[in-house]
Amino acid sequence: MPNFRLFFAFCVAGALLASGAGAQDAASIMAAASDALGGAARVAAVNTFVATGQTRQVRGDNLVPIEFEIDVAQPDKFIRIDEIPAQETGPTKSAFTGQDLARLMLGMFARPLDAFPLTFAYGGAAQAPEGKADIIDVKGPADFAGRLFVDSNTHLPLMFSWLAAPGPTGRGAPPPAPVEHRLYYADYRDVDGLKLPFRLRHALGATTTEETTVDRYRINAKIDAKKFEARK
């Protein structure tokens, strides 16, 4: 079963192996990942899903617990609702972009929303003492880009990494260098014929900023359309 320590070894200590493989290899690897996650037919049959659970988020020196619900409906509807038990405020709809969702869905289904098409190219392999991962270079709309690591043995997605600016700078200051983000997928379990990750970890480089545990997935659940409406 994949684990976070293994993925850290791939990223930090693992050597990138040269490869002459091309687009067909990328397609084969993504097809194998789809099969490992439940098969192309089952994946394609997912029209909606609801995920609920808890996130522990680093904010300064504090670790803030957040209860969340993610609602997604093909082809282009999605929302995340957060509630912080320690605060008296009610649930809030947080910013959840199509790029955020694409990174999540690559670990769940080896594919994004229908309205957010991606292209895949083989990027080599990462080797560590614990095993080997195939690397897929991913590109999409709005300059979306990153690398998907897929376990060469189980064919399950391990991690998605991407570069992003750390935030706005002061007037006249030079732009900061992009920072590497990593989203790790682990603890895959069977859900209605699919294999879905129940643990996620977001890190900046080697520093964890957020850990998420999914309590439940509901596949093709009926979602009230009002949940996707913007609050006035």
Q: How confident is the model at residue 170 (pLDDT cuts 50, 70, 90)?
A: low
Confidence of residue 169 (pLDDT cuts 50, 70, 90): low
What average pLDDT does the segment 130-153 reach?
93
H/E stretch holding 36: helix 23-36
Third-level CATH fold of 4-164+175-224: outer membrane lipoprotein receptor (LolB), chain A (2.50.20)
Best mean pLDDT range from 66-70, 175-179, 226-230? 66-70
- Judge whether 146 and 153 are in contact, CB under 8 Å: no
| Strands ordered across the beta sheet of 144-151 | 15-17, 119-128, 131-140, 144-151, 157-164, 179-191, 194-204, 207-219, 48-59, 62-73, 77-83, 92-94
Domains of the chain, by residue range, sit at: 4-164+175-224
pLDDT digits (tens, 9 = 90+) for 172-215: 778 788 999 999 999 999 999 999 999 999 999 889 999 999 99
Q: What pLDDT sits at residue 172?
A: 73
Residue 63: the pLDDT is 82
Q: Report the predicted TM-score, pTM, of the whole model to 2 decimal places.
A: 0.87
Average pLDDT over residues 100-108: 96
146/123 Cα distance (integer angstroms)? 11
What is the dihedral sign for C-alpha 166, 140, 110, 49?
A: positive
Q: Please give the structure tokens belonging to residue 126.
A: 């990462």
